[in-house]
Amino acid sequence: MKNKKNLFLTICTIILLPLLLTGCFNYHDINKVTFPTSVIFDINDLGEAVIYLDCIKPYRSTNDSSDKGRRIIYKGEGRTAMEALEDINRASSYKLNYSQTRAYIFTEKAAKNGIKKFLDLINNNSEFQVKPSAFIYYGDVDDLLSTVSADEEYLGLFLNDLVGKEKYNSKAVKSNINYYLSNVLMGGNTALLTSIELKENALDKKIEIDGASIFKDNILIEKINIENSLMYNILMGTAKTGILEATNPNSKSDFISLEIIDSNVKDNLSYENGAIKLIKDIEVDVSVSEIQGSLIVDSSALDYIRYNEEEYINGYVKYIFNKYKEKKLDIFDVERLAEMYFYKEDIKDPLSITELEVRTKLNIKGTGITRNSL
């Protein structure tokens, strides 16, 4: 009984002692750790790996009780990605903790050369436990790192917020590393990552989402522009926000903005006589958000808007599908769907024998009599 009591007291001491010493322990520990918010993967002119870390160096001031921090940027180079990371470790007197990493960024140059060596580092290095959003950056790395947002100083935190904002979702193909890896292991080894670049206006430069980038066998093939990204997301059922423009039925020279509230897609496949037919039933919920001119929303006006937008969506998504079908880029999960539906069949290159049929249903919510909004 006495031994059990002593054991209980020992366990309590082990549990409680760190809590009692938390202030002192954290004070010393936090000053020895740096947290990368983003990791940028690049290559030099020799094809060697280059890695940048955009970090928060937190510290507790000895003059007051507030938590403070400063930005530190590290750069490492090496023949391999691991050597580049070790180059950074040798230059830093702080322990690097990747638990706050919010973005992996691959430069266009690195992506065209192939990102497999960087993916191997992420997969095999136990320090990279967090699997954040991933991006392809088109532009100069120094410019990217020197562009500081007024809302968020740290690049990784800014990008995490940017891709999470609802108004950007429709034109961004959100992808984290886990999603990317699962895609390249299936089907035609084809996957997408969100594209970003710097846009310059009269006042300054800003980081903006700029569509998506297509990879095959871990090599950047081409870029989907921001307009096509919205229709791609509608085709795949991932467009939860966004804006569609329709002609005003009461004034053909004016337009109506339709805000996407939600969208869903149901897939149906059939295989007959060596051909696949893929039917996509698309349902899009929208509301009227802005009107040029005046509009009385009656049944006739609604039918006009609905019919024209449904035809527009049907035609646009079929154009995107056929465009990338011709390029043999399966960004539509056709091979995965074929394996699910026809697992008993040995179908070679299912995308090449697939014809797409699209049936769009547009639901216009919250209608009534609307006046001129301008």
List, in sequence order, the alpha helices (H) in 114-205. 116-124, 141-146, 155-164, 166-169, 177-184
CA 309 to chain centre: 27
> How sure is the predictor about 303, in pLDDT bands with cuts at 50, 70 and 90?
very high
State the Cα torsion 327-331-334-336 to the nearest 10°: 130
Nearest to 196 by CA among 242, 241, 128, 141: 141
Work out whether strand 205-216 and strand 190-200 pair parallel, antiparallel, or are unpaired.
Answer: antiparallel
The string of pLDDT tens digits covering residues 5-56 is 443 344 344 444 444 444 444 444 666 889 999 999 999 999 999 999 999 8
Kindly report the number of other CB atoms within 10 A of residue 114's CB atom.
16
pLDDT exceeds cutoff 90 at 240: no
pTM score of the predicted model: 0.82
Residue with tokens 């992420």: 122
> How sure is the predictor about 234, in pLDDT bands with cuts at 50, 70 and 90?
very high
Residue with tokens 């297509």: 214
Residue 176 DSSP class: B
Residue with tokens 């886990």: 178
Q: What is the CA radius of gyration of the chain?
A: 26
User: Which among 20-24, 66-70, 91-95, 362-366 has the top mean pLDDT?
Assistant: 362-366
At residue 336, φ and ψ (nearest 5 deg) are: -65, -45
Question: Given this model, what pLDDT does residue 28 score?
Answer: 45
Total length of the chain = 374
212 vs 162, more confident = 212
CA–CA dist 373, 370 (Å, integer): 8
Please tell me whether residue 274 adopts helix, strand or coil conformation. Answer: coil
CA–CA dist 194, 180 (Å, integer): 11
Q: Which helix (H) or strand (E) holds 203?
A: none
For the purposes of burial, counting CB atoms within 10 Å of the CB of 14, is it exposed (0-12), middle (13-18) or buried (19 or more)?
exposed
Residue with tokens 């009656």: 298
Name the average pLDDT for the chain.
84
Q: Which helix (H) or strand (E) holds 318?
A: helix 299-326
Across 209-220, average pLDDT: 92
The string of pLDDT tens digits covering residues 76-134 is 999 999 999 999 999 888 889 998 899 999 999 999 999 999 999 998 888 887 778 89
CA–CA dist 328, 331 (Å, integer): 9
Please answer whether residues 351 and 325 qualify as being in contact, where contact means their C-beta atoms are separated by less than 8 angstroms.
Answer: yes
Please answer whether residues 198 and 207 qualify as being in contact, where contact means their C-beta atoms are separated by less than 8 angstroms.
Answer: yes
The string of pLDDT tens digits covering residues 194-208 is 999 998 875 778 888
Q: Using alpha carbons, list the distances in angstroms from residue 115 to 51, 82, 275.
A: 12, 13, 34
DSSP string, 34-79: EEEEEEEEEE-TTS-EEEEEEEEEEEE-SSSS-EEEEEEEEEEEES
